[in-house]
A and B are shown apart, each in its own frame.
Chain A
């Protein structure tokens, strides 16, 4: 659904006292904020809690937002700090998590889809599985770059890092992700045989 107002217009409405405009602003960003939170927590319930907290925090500090960066970049920096605080609190061991619970259960809906969709969904399941096996920082960089369509500078702003650090992190994250995808696919092929 295309919103008729831009981020800036909606922000101005909210700052003018129109709370309902915040629901529209949230609709524009909630899917990505939730996806990003999920990359850190690997758990839907926790990710939803973090995403909700982020939107409430963003609302409270909306009057401190200056238009020097994109609203999405500012929002993702809130997601990053909130998720990091959450992880520190929970002392989450990302390696011990069962990734199966996180992935969408597309296998159960296979009969409703055509061959191309099945292939696409299967690919996505493998890639999501591989991303979930990455460290939270790597997964966040990959998600921000590919799904959030953020530039290296914007990712740097959101994560509080230098552009060169982000560049190196992105290279490494891609390399690790490639390895994970290859491992998963290799494992799946072996299982099929």
Chain B
């Protein structure tokens, strides 16, 4: 490619410097050779820009959407999980671990000089029969069924909307 052509292309694409641009602009006006190359490049640009884009087959969108429908729907973690919930869970675990460590260190007998004596820990007796009675179990299942119906309703509404 000769220098004139390169300069003209840079001028047309706007990739030259301001000085070069001004100089090339003047040359196009004054030099017939520059003007000829400029006209040729311009015609080339209009010819190639006018090409139509190809059209894919009629079933193109349908085929892609069939494959897309097999993919799991996008749902960003941001919308699924609230940050406060994450911080709440982290806080709960941090508090539990810290409390356990405090109790553990508090129960260690630091005056002992020989060996390591594990602190005694006895689990308080819990009477499960007191809490797990039939009323509790019935209430538990009732709440479960309500939540299940609520989720099913949401799922069916979403499905109807997407159709």
Contacts and interface: CB of A to CB of B under 8 A. Distances in A.
Nearest to B48: A146
8 contacts: A20-B162, A22-B65, A26-B65, A52-B60, A55-B68, A59-B74, A174-B9, A177-B48
Given A52-B67, A62-B74, A38 B54 contact: yes
B85 interface: no
Given A56-B68, A171-B9, A19 B162 contact: yes
Nearest to B13: A152
A174 B9 CA distance: 10
B71 A35 contact: no
Interface residues of B, number: 35
Given A48-B57, A59-B68, A171-B9, A19 B73 contact: yes
Given A19-B69, A52-B67, A127 B75 contact: no
A177 B49 CA distance: 13
Nearest to B57: A48
Contact of B51 (A14, A27, A146): A146
Given A48-B57, A52-B67, A120-B50, 15 more contacts: A14-B74, A17-B74, A18-B162, A19-B73, A27-B61, A30-B60, A34-B53, A34-B54, A51-B60, A59-B74, A123-B50, A152-B13, A152-B15, A177-B48, A178-B44
A23 interface: yes
B145 to A, nearest CB: 26
Task: Tell me if B's interface is mostly helix, strand, loop or mixed.
Answer: helix
A69 interface: no
A147 interface: yes
Contacts of B5: 175
A63 B76 contact: yes
10 smallest beta-carbon distances between A and B, as pairs: A34-B56, A31-B53, A35-B54, A17-B73, A35-B53, A55-B64, A146-B48, A15-B74, A17-B75, A146-B49
A19 B51 contact: no
A23 B61 contact: yes
A60 B55 contact: no
Interface in B70-111: 71, 73-76, 79
A56 B67 contact: yes
A59 B71 contact: yes
Interface string A49-65: 00110011001101100
B56 A31 contact: yes
Given A16-B75, A124-B51, A127-B48, A171 B56 contact: no
B65 A23 contact: yes
A175 B23 CA distance: 23
A140 interface: no
Contacts of B52: 124
B60 A34 contact: yes
Contacts of B122: none
Interface string A117-131: 000100110011001
Nearest to A14: B74
Interface in A126-183: 127-128, 131, 142, 146-147, 152, 167, 170-172, 174-175, 177-178, 181
B56 A30 contact: yes
A30 B61 CA distance: 8
A174 B44 contact: yes
